[in-house]
Amino acid sequence: MLDKRKFYINGEWVEPAAQNDLYVLNPATEKPIAVISLGTAVDIDRAVAAAKKAFQSYSRTGLEERLALLEKLLAIYKRRYDEMADTITAELGAPKTMSREQQADVGVGHLQGYIDALKRLKLREKLPNGDTLMREPIGVCGLITPWNWPINQIALKVVPALATGCTCVLKPSEFTPLNALLYAEMIDEAGFPAGVFNLVNGDGLHAGAALSKHKDIDMMSFTGSTRAGIAVSKDAADTVKRVTLELGGKSPNIVFADADLEARVTAGVLECFNNSGQSCDAPTRMLVERSAYNDVVAIARRIGREAEVGDPAKEGSHIGPLVSHIQYERVQALIEAGVGEGARLVVGGPGKPEGFETGYFVKPTIFADVDNSMRIAREEVFGPVLSIIPFDTEEEAIAIANDTSYGLAAYVQTGDPERAERVAARLRAGMVHINGGPHRYGSPFGGYKQSGNGREGGTFGLEDFLEVKTVHLPDAA
């Protein structure tokens, strides 16, 4: 078992202020694979002080110097790529193939996307009225990341902070901290100055709250549940710091009868089940035009039955376990709610798959005849659970799609390009995927309503970490 109790503060691996151990479990075996320390406000104070001191000099570094550091970090990440993939498989339970092809890949893609955006960024420009606009690093940033796509969110926060001249303190999820510790090793090897990047493990109630409330933190960037995002916002309010949030989702996938049903329904089911359903932008509500409804349910049933659960340590297209016992219980409760509220169970259901009594495995589950008022249609399940909802008209589809407190992503399947554009324009979501269009590195990621505020990735992601200053000269005109 790995001993990972130390924190990375001011360029050194240091002992925590107090001993408060937590075991990191492999979700497929339920056995501990590492021990970490849960940090306290004292550890956060120490990390923030280091970041504040480092900001004085790092904020004045040139663009070329920071680009060189990021390029070196990219080279190191590529060299240790397989190590990152294996780490995520062990602590998250993402199957080996998925971890290598998706989970670890985002660490390369987002870093390259930010490097490209930084090269295009204008830090100083002349406004049409003659004034000068300057973009400057906002300061010391507190970063809190989730467990479901761990290095994805770490890269989306740490990289823009470092790229823009900010300094930061990262508190990764205590469920998946090992990939963050590995990333800290890479940052250290790349040669970023001491104090520019700091890492303190801990839970949200103590370390996370201490970071959000800290008077010397200028900005908080948080990804996680809407409930926790509200708490971060409230904790940050007293010091009026900037807060960016990437929160939950209940993304609609609108399937019109003129779509390529076999291809688009298959892709929708598999996308919902990907990462064991633990994705904030997963298309968990499949809205289907009634004339195609029975055909769609039949396709979904077949694909759902073919979906395999398996050992994440093995190669393959199977799905792995959920991350923890807590998450397993939450998903089971919502599956039971779906049954209890009268949705038609098409595939799966409560309990564990046969042969997987150990580990936090769940049955890939599909419900049909779901009403949008049901809990499984309104709450973020965060497991491999799909709800299929019928609609009669385009107007009704749009109304159902927008009838949610979330607004992260939406999906539209149709053979009519004009309809696709028309519907996309009316969906209250930060991202709309048409006929399988993927999210590409460098494009902004974020949502409307209770899915958060701010955008991550590319130029928009850099701008979140920048302040804008206007310089007024007497002869500007």
Give the torsion sign (CA, 454, 119, 83, 318): positive
Q: Which of 210, 198, 207 is nearest to 7 (CA)?
A: 198
Is residue 65 part of the annotated active site? The answer reads: no
Amino acid, single-letter form, for residue 446:
G
171 in Cβ contact with 202 (< 8 Å):
yes
Report the SS3 class of residue 228: helix
The set of residues, in sequence order, having a beta carbon less than 8 Å from that of 155 and lying 6+ positions away, is 106, 107, 110, 111
The whole-angstrom separation of Cα 54 and Cα 50 is: 6
Q: Which of 372, 288, 298, 384 is nearest to 335 (CA)?
A: 384
221 in Cβ contact with 153 (< 8 Å):
no
The whole-angstrom separation of Cα 292 and Cα 205 is: 47
Report the SS3 class of residue 11: coil
Among candidate residues 91, 174, 246, 289, the one labeled active-site is: 246
The whole-angstrom separation of Cα 271 and Cα 277 is: 8
The whole-angstrom separation of Cα 372 and Cα 374 is: 6
The residue with tokens 């993939």 is 85
User: What DSSP line would sit under 98-144, residue for residue?
Assistant: HIIIIITHHHHHHHHHHHHHHHH--SEEE-TTS-EEEEEE--EEEEE
**CA distances from residue 453 to 62, 198, 253, 450, 461 in whole angstroms, order as listed:** 29, 25, 22, 8, 12
The whole-angstrom separation of Cα 339 and Cα 317 is: 28
The DSSP bridge partners found for residue 204 are: none
**CA distances from residue 433 to 248, 386, 414, 421 in whole angstroms, order as listed:** 17, 18, 11, 11
User: Which residues are tagged catalytic?
Assistant: 246
